[in-house]
Chain A
Amino acid sequence: MWTWFYRLASPPYVYRVAALWIPWFLTAAAITIGYGLIDGLVFAPRDYQQGDAFRMIYVHVPSAWMSEFTYACMAVAGAIGLIWRIKMGHAVAAAAAPIGASFTLAALVTGSLWGRPMWGTYWAWDPRLTTELILLFLYVGVMSLRPAFEDPARGDRAAALLSVVGVVNLPIIHYSVVWWNSLHQGATVAKLGKPDIELSMLWPLLSMMLGFMCFYGAVLCIRLRGEILARERQATWVREAVKS
């Protein structure tokens, strides 16, 4: 197991394996997002309270879920870089940050587009919305901190430290609807026991979530390859890799 773990620390190995994964991730994302879109927009029944406005969950929930999942990935990668001093950990964290920030922005924008017809306002300083906004600021902070140091290794360590500290925000986002009075509805899918959502509405949602994860996998692999090239451009293996 440790041999496999340390192979993941090898930039040429990761650069090569990431290239192999990209078409598989993109194909899986196209199939699952395509199915989720058709099923969610055409076949899923209209909600009895929210009408067709509920269909926004098919992009809002996957975006919000990916904003937290990507942050957790970034923090774990940063922690691996900090604890084991594995450079690939920092490269993965650097590659994940802009993707996570874009998912967070998408979650905030789609949430406010949902909020206008449902709550009567695009924005409220509600616990769920505010903690999600803090998540966006954390992403921006992590992305800004890395290039703020002249020594890239120090920038990596500072960004990793901030991302690890920021993990405390993830359970706060998740439980904000339980701990405080919130306009935002409570957990519908990610709860113990039976989900509160009708199965014909749930399947397209799960398919979209899987599709967004696969898409994230593909984009992360592409960005990671760029990040590896940028960090290793003096290495001899790069000469062969970029010429092929």
Chain B
Amino acid sequence: MGGYARFVWPCFGFVFAVLAWNLWAARRHHAQARRRALRAIAMAGSN
């Protein structure tokens, strides 16, 4: 990397960490909403 490796690789690493976090957080957000919806349905059923 012509002497710039200590800037270039962290730069790529940070962005791909951000992309990975986005995917993980979005899936977690959906899974949590799904669990809450299932709980709400179960509570409505028991009432």
Contacts and interface: CB of A to CB of B under 8 A. Distances in A.
Interface of A: 46, 51-53, 55-56, 58-60, 63, 98-99, 102-103, 105-106, 109-110, 113-114, 116-117, 215, 218-219, 222-223, 225-230, 233-234, 238-239, 242-243
Given A52-B2, A113-B11, A226-B26, A215 B36 contact: no
Interface residues of B, number: 31
Given A51-B4, A230-B33, 12 more contacts: A52-B3, A52-B8, A53-B4, A63-B15, A63-B18, A98-B22, A109-B11, A109-B14, A117-B7, A225-B33, A233-B37, A234-B40
Contact of A225 (B2, B21, B30): B30
B16 to A, nearest CB: 8
Interface in B1-47: 1-4, 7-8, 10-12, 14-16, 18-19, 21-23, 25-27, 29-34, 36-38, 40-41
Nearest to A215: B19
Interface of B: 1-4, 7-8, 10-12, 14-16, 18-19, 21-23, 25-27, 29-34, 36-38, 40-41
Contacts of B18: 63, 102-103, 105-106
A242 B41 contact: yes
